Amino acid sequence: MRKIQLLLALLAGVSLSAFAQQRGWPVATNDESGFVQIFDGKSLAGWEGDTNYWRVEDGCLVGEVTTNNLLKQNSFIVWRGGETRDFELKVEYRISAKGNSGINYRSVMVTNGPWTMRGY
């Protein structure tokens, strides 16, 4: 139901935050209170992934596939820094023209590779 209402609000030119507030839905803000940073911008501390593809560069978590290290299956970087419950995820990201913007959360590891997952 939310998707249809949201689409109708977009078509009508209604402010998304006003639309969400009218319905009592949570609204994203820039308020950082209550958030826990899970990436320190310097290292892969708390994260596991294949370092042939994942690294930290200029304060960013970078995943890169090149012609010299092609993937045969997906290879995610996985946060192992603690247990989660209900959460909001705030990210800033950049993506190349041929990139994949996929962020999996609440996913399940599968057995056909060390960092292969399926899920949302």
- Going by C-alpha positions, the residue among 101, 100, 107 that lies closest to residue 79 is 107
Is 77 in contact with 45 (CB distance < 8 Å)?
A: no
The CA distance from 6 to 97, in Å, is 28
Is the pLDDT at 117 greater than 70? The verdict is: yes
The pLDDT value recorded for residue 15 is: 56
Mean of all residue pLDDT scores within the chain: 76
Q: Dump the DSSP string for 36-52.
A: -----SS--TTEE--TT
Interval 39-91: pLDDT, tens: 888 999 999 889 988 999 988 888 888 888 888 878 888 888 888 777 777 88
How far CA 6 is from CA of 9, 76, 96, 99, in Å, comes to 5, 31, 28, 27
